[in-house]
């Protein structure tokens, strides 16, 4: 029997391998076989704007000026943030920024240092 993982989109068990890609014949979803092996099942992998995998405790840099709602403060480009914590939700990074305080950031606006 096949030891290939089921399709992450439709959970079909009839996936097949084509080179380095896995393909689902039922929904035509394609994904990387390497990424399927590297990522533990059930865990969401959070990546920065460049594609680096983020983990708790990493140091990141902000890549875009970010206005803070309800305040006149702005998180400037190049601001380093140490010791991040990954959380579920729309804003997937919890952190504390010097001079501003506790914040939630989206991973698409940061880069791993």
**Per-domain residue ranges of the chain:** 1-38, 59-112
CA 56 – CA 84 distance, rounded (Å)? 6
Query: Phi and psi (nearest 5°) for 75?
Result: -85, 115
CA 104 – CA 86 distance, rounded (Å)? 10
User: Among 5-14, 30-39, 52-61, 96-105, where is mean pLDDT lowest?
Assistant: 30-39
pLDDT band at 1 (very low <50, low <70, confident <90, very high): very low
Residue with tokens 């804003």: 91
Q: Right CATH number for 1-38 from 2.20.25.10, 3.40.50.880, 2.60.40.10, 2.40.50.90?
A: 2.20.25.10
Using the predicted structure, report yes or no on whether residue 2 has a pLDDT greater than 60.
Answer: no
Q: Which of 51, 57, 65 is nearest to 96 (CA)?
A: 57
CATH superfamily entry for domain 59-112: SH3 Domains (2.30.30.40)
Long-range contacts of 39-44 (CB under 8 A, 24+ apart): 41/5, 44/88
DSSP β-bridge partners for residue 105? 93
pLDDT value for 9: 85
The pTM (predicted TM-score) of the whole model is: 0.62
**For the segment 40-98, what is each residue's pLDDT rounded down to a tens digit?**
555 678 999 998 999 999 999 999 999 999 999 999 999 999 999 999 888 999 999 99
pLDDT value for 47: 92
């Amino acid at each position: 029997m096949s030891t290939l993982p089921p399709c992450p989109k439709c959970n079909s068990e009839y996936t097949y391998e084509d080179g380095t890609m896995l393909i689902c014949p039922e929904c035509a979803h394609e994904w990387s076989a390497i990424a399927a092996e590297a990522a533990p099942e059930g865990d969401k992998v959070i990546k920065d704007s460049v594609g680096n995998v983020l983990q708790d405790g990493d140091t990141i840099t902000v890549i875009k000026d970010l206005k803070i709602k309800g305040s006149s403060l702005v998180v400037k480009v190049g601001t380093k943030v140490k010791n991040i914590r990954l959380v579920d939700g729309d804003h997937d990074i919890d952190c504390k920024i010097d001079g501003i305080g506790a914040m939630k950031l989206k991973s698409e606006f940061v880069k791993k240092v």
